[in-house]
Chains A and B, each alone.
Chain A
Amino acid sequence: MKEINVSKIIPVVKKLCIDTNYYASEDVVIKIKEFLEKEVSPTGRDILQLILENHKMAAEEQMPMCQDTGVAVVFVELGQDVHLVGGDFYEAINEGVRQGYIDGYLRKSMVDDPVIERKNTRDNTPAIIYTDIVPGDSLKITVAAKGGGAENMSEVKMMKAADGIEGVKDFVVDRIKRSGGNPCPPVVVGVGIGGSFEQCALLAKKSLLRPITEKNPDPVWAAVEEEILERINKLGIGPQGLGGRTTALAVNILQMPCHIASMPVAVNVNCHCHRHESAVIE
């Protein structure tokens, strides 16, 4: 059994929070450049160029790409041969988030009571943490900074088997159509299918972690992703909803088995900043 002191986690989470907000990921830069080549709307082209300029400036100035630096969604893959010592594991993650958001000049966007008080917690905690136990003796941590504008355009639908694959495609395309300019297009569309009511939403969020330059490993689902993306980019919404062909940069699908009576489908929308960073603690 390998021991990892939870104090090692704090600086790692802190750095992930800062880096994901300051530095655009390579796959996003590649995709935006690719779509800029094809964009026919002059305003749309202006906006895509401005986004690329913003990436460079954020890195140079050590500032977050967007002022909405998100809720910290933390995915943990904990090796089953790891023994965590030295304190509360989840508190260590929250301490990393606290330090990252305070020392990194990131915005604190969490309110305590969601409805009545809505008082800002002032340090962007609590993080939203998901833990998977996996084989091995290492600890992988991924921080996704999830902005509110795009998250608000997400939806879960309990569909029926008779709706079939066409029903799934229509639901995803319609969700993006109804979102219009709200989620900061061009967006990345995460889709979770199967499992249960809550599991498909988590699948949708996890699907966003796959690099958008990579195809779905299953050719059948890769074709579905491609078709949905093509339909979304015919909607005309364009960058920031001001009209154009670049409405989504990618569609990522994750699916899993489900009950004979069910076909849950979730759409989780990400803005063009599409922020997530990972690190492994050995």
Chain B
Amino acid sequence: MANEIHLRTPLKTEDLEKLNVGDKVLITGKVYTARDAAHKRLVELVEAGKELPFDIEGAAIYFVGPSPARSGKPIGSAGPTTSYRMDPYSPALMDVGLKAMIGKGPRGPKVIDSMVKNKAVYLASIGGAAVVTAQSVKSCKIIAYEDLGAEAIRELEVEEFPAFVANDTKGNDIFQLGVEKYRR
């Protein structure tokens, strides 16, 4: 555990295939934010064969609704939200090129199967450590669905954003393996 690996977006399959659950990654580049309401709209676009508001090929989506930024700061507090609520939508987005999801808490079997099929990964960031996490966000702009408030899609420019590999491209799941290791 705790290998530290640098990742740059857009993500390449060969970089993701090297990752194993438990690895610590530091992400640099563009990351897009989306929660429940934005996911619903994105999947409706995919199903209608319409263009998405950002390039999803090799993209990373961060499940977050940040708090408002103070003046002079790019973003407020920005920790992950619980990921299972995005389970109904994630496979459809991976099918069109999504390569990484960042959130907290375990994913369902269909999402894990889709990660194996699409060579994508799920990364766990630390819930409730939202001020520390926000330090790696260098810029933030709303690019779609402003009406959703905290749930609007934002394009973040991040530098060495820290996360742990929770599901790798081989179907391993840290939420199972970790618990088995420490259960008494």
The reply to whether A238 and B179 form a contact with Cβ atoms under 8 Å apart is yes
The reply to whether A242 and B105 form a contact with Cβ atoms under 8 Å apart is no
Q: Which residues of A contact B129 (CB under 8 A)?
A: 47, 50-51, 53-54
Cβ of B126 within 8 Å of any chain A Cβ, yes or no, is yes
Q: What is the minimal beta-carbon distance from B165 to any residue of chain A, in angstroms?
A: 10
* Contact A235 to B183, CB < 8 A, known contacts A67-B79, A182-B105: yes
* Contact A42 to B2, CB < 8 A, known contacts A182-B106, A242-B178, A243-B177: yes
Q: What is the minimal beta-carbon distance from B72 to any residue of chain A, in angstroms?
A: 11
Query: Looking across the interface, which residue of chain A has its beta carbon closest to that of B166?
Result: A242
The reply to whether B70 and A240 form a contact with Cβ atoms under 8 Å apart is no
The reply to whether B131 and A63 form a contact with Cβ atoms under 8 Å apart is yes
* Contact A54 to B128, CB < 8 A, known contacts A107-B68, A181-B105: yes
Over the window 111-145 of chain B, the binary record of Cβ atoms lying under 8 Å from chain A Cβ atoms (1 yes, 0 no) is 00000000000001011111110110000000000
Cβ of A84 within 8 Å of any chain B Cβ, yes or no, is no
The reply to whether A238 and B178 form a contact with Cβ atoms under 8 Å apart is yes
Q: Which residues of A contact B32 (CB under 8 A)?
A: none
The reply to whether B22 and A63 form a contact with Cβ atoms under 8 Å apart is no
* Contact A107 to B65, CB < 8 A, known contacts A65-B130, A182-B82: yes
Cβ of B50 within 8 Å of any chain A Cβ, yes or no, is no
The reply to whether A67 and B77 form a contact with Cβ atoms under 8 Å apart is yes
A-B pairs under 8 A by CB, number: 167
Tell me the bound Cα distance from A112 to B177 in angstroms.
40
B77: which of A65, A149, A237 is its contact (CB, 8 Å)? A65
* Contact A106 to B67, CB < 8 A, known contacts A63-B76, A243-B178: yes
The reply to whether B126 and A47 form a contact with Cβ atoms under 8 Å apart is yes
The reply to whether B65 and A240 form a contact with Cβ atoms under 8 Å apart is no
Cβ of B104 within 8 Å of any chain A Cβ, yes or no, is yes
The reply to whether B175 and A51 form a contact with Cβ atoms under 8 Å apart is no
B182: which of A47, A50, A118, A244 is its contact (CB, 8 Å)? A244
Q: Which residues of B contact A46 (CB under 8 A)?
A: 2
Cβ of A66 within 8 Å of any chain B Cβ, yes or no, is yes
Interface members, chain B 71-117 (any A CB < 8 Å):
76-79, 81-82, 84, 104-106
Cβ of B1 within 8 Å of any chain A Cβ, yes or no, is yes
The reply to whether B2 and A53 form a contact with Cβ atoms under 8 Å apart is no
Cβ of B26 within 8 Å of any chain A Cβ, yes or no, is no
The reply to whether B127 and A66 form a contact with Cβ atoms under 8 Å apart is yes
Q: What is the minimal beta-carbon distance from A184 to any residue of chain B, in angstroms?
A: 4
Q: What is the minimal beta-carbon distance from B10 to any residue of chain A, in angstroms?
A: 25
Interface members, chain A 222-239 (any B CB < 8 Å):
234-238
The reply to whether A118 and B1 form a contact with Cβ atoms under 8 Å apart is no
Cβ of A36 within 8 Å of any chain B Cβ, yes or no, is no
Q: Which residues of A contact B2 (CB under 8 A)?
A: 42-43, 46
Cβ of B180 within 8 Å of any chain A Cβ, yes or no, is yes
Tell me the bound Cα distance from A261 to B124 in angstroms.
45
* Contact A43 to B131, CB < 8 A, known contacts A67-B76, A238-B179: no
Cβ of B7 within 8 Å of any chain A Cβ, yes or no, is no
Q: Which residues of A contact B182 (CB under 8 A)?
A: 40-41, 44, 236, 238, 243-245
The reply to whether A66 and B128 form a contact with Cβ atoms under 8 Å apart is yes
Q: Which residues of B contact A53 (CB under 8 A)?
A: 129, 132
The reply to whether A41 and B178 form a contact with Cβ atoms under 8 Å apart is yes
Cβ of A190 within 8 Å of any chain B Cβ, yes or no, is no
Interface members, chain A 200-243 (any B CB < 8 Å):
234-238, 240-243
Query: Looking across the interface, which residue of chain B has its beta carbon closest to that of A51?
Result: B129
Q: Which residues of B contact A183 (CB under 8 A)?
A: 82, 105
Cβ of A109 within 8 Å of any chain B Cβ, yes or no, is yes
Q: Which residues of B contact A109 (CB under 8 A)?
A: 65, 150
What are 23 A-B pairs at a CB distance below 8 A?
Answer: A41-B181, A42-B1, A47-B126, A51-B128, A53-B132, A63-B70, A63-B76, A66-B77, A67-B78, A105-B67, A107-B77, A120-B148, A120-B149, A120-B151, A148-B82, A180-B105, A240-B104, A241-B104, A241-B179, A242-B164, A243-B177, A243-B178, A272-B128
- A67-B150, A182-B105, A235-B183 given; 8 more Cβ-contact pairs under 8 Å: A53-B132, A67-B65, A105-B69, A148-B81, A236-B184, A242-B175, A242-B178, A243-B180
Q: Which residues of A contact B (CB under 8 A)?
A: 40-44, 46-47, 50-51, 53-54, 57-58, 61-69, 105-109, 118, 120, 122, 148-149, 152, 180-184, 234-238, 240-245, 271-273
